[in-house]
Structures are given as C-alpha cells and as structure tokens.
C-alpha cells in the first residue's frame, strides 16, 4: 500500500489521537486497589510521537520539500 497524502494524513490523525490518549492515561495516578496497569502508556505515547514525527517528515517529502543537495 503506497503512502499517498490522504493515507498519510489519516495516519497522522490516528497517531496524534493515540499519543494524546496515551498521555492522558499515563498521567493518571496509579490505583493499587484496582491492580497494576497492564499497558505501558508512557511508552505508547513516546512511540506514537516518534511515528508521528516520521509521518510529518514524509508529508513534507510528498509536498516537495527536499533538503538541499550537497555542494561539491
């Protein structure tokens, strides 16, 4: 599946929503009476943020922003 602009923008929205949700869940205080947390919310937040960063760079490439060619 090629990562066209609409697919990439959809993935950006999904990663952003996941990062915000995981950040909210990771910031809640733990409740030992309910048991341990089974999901590492902070790790999920950081990983989705990293994927989000790569997707934003990919959108820049799709829109024609390329780094300068090395001068030699």
Domains of the chain: which residue ranges?
5-28+40-62
Helices (H), the chain: 5-27, 41-62
CB 62 within 8 A of CB 11: no
Position 60 scores a pLDDT of: 93
What confidence tens digit (pLDDT) does each residue in 16-59 have? 999 999 999 999 888 888 877 788 999 999 999 999 999 999 99
Instruction: Sort residue 64 into left (φ over 0), alpha (ψ -120 to 50) or beta.
Output: left
Position 36 scores a pLDDT of: 77
Token match 């024609």: residue?
A: 64
């Amino acid at each position: 599946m090629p990562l066209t602009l609409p697919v990439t923008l959809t993935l950006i929205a999904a990663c952003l929503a996941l990062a915000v949700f995981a950040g909210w869940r990771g910031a809640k205080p733990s409740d030992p009476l309910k048991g341990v947390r089974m999901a590492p919310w902070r790790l999920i937040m950081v990983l989705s943020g990293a994927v989000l960063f790569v997707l934003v760079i990919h959108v820049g490439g799709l829109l024609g922003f390329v780094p300068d060619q090395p001068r030699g």
